[in-house]
Amino acid sequence: MKEGKVVSWLKAEGDPISAGEAIMVVESDKADMDVEAFEDGFLAAIITAEGDSCTVGAPVALIASEEKDIPALQAYAASLSGAPVPAASAPPVATIAAPVAAAAPAAPKAAAPKAASGSRVVASPLAKKLAEEKGVDLSTVVGTGPEGRITAGDVEKAAAGGAPAKKASAAAPAKPAWTPAAGVIAATPMARAAAKKAKIDLSTIQGTGEYGRVTLDDVKIATGEKKPIRKETAKGAAAPVELPSGLVPFTGMQRAVAKNMDATLSTPVFRVSREIEMDEFDTLYLSVKSKGITVSALLAKAAALALEKYPVINSSYTREGTVFNPDINIAMAVAIDGGLITPTLKYANERNIMDLGENWKELVQKAKDGKLTPDEYNSGTFTISNLGMFGVSQFDAILPSGMGGILAIGGTQEYIVPCNKAVLGMKKVKKMTVTLTADHRQIYGADAALFLKEFNAIMTNPSVLLL
């Protein structure tokens, strides 16, 4: 390497620095490198600006051992023109070379430099910190320290309204925040190495380091190796919700559900949907609700009567042919704590609605208590999954293994439809969308359509459910 380019300065002029602390980034032929300070002091003057290049060994900045020496070194840096500078008495000074340390010419003794050089405001680190905390613009404060330097006391007076302000003409514009040179992504060397290893484009990572620099932690967060640091909750805002984290082993029921779902992947299915008017059904339900009859019992009875007429929907597939089930057992999907289970209303087409209602209440309670027998949840020949009570308008259910069909029940919604008998030619009706998922190996589209047509006829003339 013969020449390097200064990508960025991590410290500003006047900032205190410590030995071993990274203060600049230099771009070589192959990588960006952090350059560390080799002794304690203050970054007095920057000679090589960001984006500029210089030869190896040439001074790029001056370091003062004492804070009071900064103005003299700034004046010396301003006088550099490339020609040798006569040696003279000067405060202790060190130079930063690009990208390695080298001896610097001695700085001449500066004559009473002013607190500000050009647009620069000279203030002690404590004064800068206080100004930031109290919202004081340092360019409007008159310094009373050595060589006109702004002290913490000057800032305190300015914040209290007792310090004289500089004239507007003397105010210097604030130094703009550092931005990397065109085409350069600011990142630490370790972050670059980690991103290269993980094959991640640094431009896609939001840097959290100084001046938006990408750090090693930023790369680790992007790869998932490290979790993002939770931001502090703003004052007055609601505390963050503690969400579950990490692996939670399946219960026996959850493992069984997952296994059953895996088994369905080999079944070729199709789906058919239909809207059903629900006004008559709702009227019937309200008339029998006080007797303990639930919507689930009514739906099971309606599906069972439709399956009587189209038994192929109640069948199951085998390699040898279609197996028609002699009974109609309606399995009803129920979500319980820690899983999903399907209590079954056996012989639903043969039993009256009161009997089905009582049986359903018993089955649901057993399911919640974990006391269902295998015959009470494994004997279904057709399944109903109802999510309407959760406000779901329409959904597709997964066909259970070994069955021919499952009926997904959506929620009831109100619609305005044309009506010749209405005064305004319009009326309000309630509709529900149902979707049948069927095994296409033994059930065809016409079979599904005819089944839904019969189910619709029963739901719109629900008095048959009470017979």
What's the whole-model pTM score?
0.52
Q: Is the pLDDT of residue 313 over 90?
A: yes
What's the pLDDT score for residue 141?
A: 82
107 in active site: no
Contact criterion met (CB below 8 Å) for 323 and 435:
no
Residue 177 pLDDT grade (very low, low, confident, very high; cuts 50, 70, 90): low
What's the pLDDT score for residue 239?
A: 72
424's tokens: 């305004």
Residue 464 pLDDT grade (very low, low, confident, very high; cuts 50, 70, 90): very high
Return d(Cα 316, Cα 81) in angstroms, integer.
94
Q: Is the pLDDT of residue 8 over 90?
A: no
How far is residue 52 from each of residues 31, 62, 63, 68, 344, measured CA to CA in Å?
16, 16, 19, 28, 79
Give the other-Cβ count within 10 Å of 465's Cβ. 24
Return d(Cα 115, Cα 146) in angstroms, integer.
8
Residue 315 or residue 117, greater confidence: 315
| Mean pLDDT for the stretch of residues 309-326 | 96
What's the pLDDT score for residue 364?
A: 92
Q: Is the pLDDT of residue 356 over 90?
A: yes
Domain at 252-466, CATH class: alpha beta
1-113 adopts what CATH topology? OB fold (Dihydrolipoamide Acetyltransferase, E2P) (2.40.50)
Q: Is the pLDDT of residue 110 over 50?
A: no
What's the pLDDT score for residue 112?
A: 35
pLDDT tens, residue by residue, 192-203: 888 888 888 888
Q: Is the pLDDT of residue 357 over 90?
A: yes
pLDDT tens, residue by residue, 112-166: 333 333 445 677 666 777 788 778 887 788 877 656 778 777 887 888 775 554 5
What's the pLDDT score for residue 118?
A: 41
| Mean pLDDT for the stretch of residues 3-30 | 78
What's the pLDDT score for residue 109?
A: 37
Residue 348 or residue 416, greater confidence: 348
Q: Is the pLDDT of residue 367 over 50?
A: yes
pLDDT tens, residue by residue, 228-241: 776 666 666 777 77
Mean pLDDT over each residue of the chain, to the nearest integer: 81
Right CATH for 189-223 from 3.40.1160.10, 4.10.320.10, 1.20.1330.10, 1.10.40.30: 4.10.320.10
What's the pLDDT score for residue 310?
A: 97
| Minimum mean pLDDT range among 228-232, 262-266, 335-339, 352-356 | 228-232
| Mean pLDDT for the stretch of residues 292-315 | 96
| Mean pLDDT for the stretch of residues 345-355 | 95
Catalytic residue among 395, 440, 450, 457: 440
Domain segments of the chain: what residues? Answer: 1-113, 189-223, 252-466
Residue 89 or residue 206, greater confidence: 206
For the chain, percent of residues with pLDDT exceeding 70: 81
Residue 7 or residue 375, greater confidence: 375
What's the pLDDT score for residue 13?
A: 86
Q: Is the pLDDT of residue 84 over 50?
A: no
Residue 462 pLDDT grade (very low, low, confident, very high; cuts 50, 70, 90): very high
pLDDT tens, residue by residue, 66-80: 888 888 888 888 877
pLDDT tens, residue by residue, 417-460: 888 877 777 888 999 999 999 999 999 999 999 999 999 999 99
What's the pLDDT score for residue 211?
A: 75
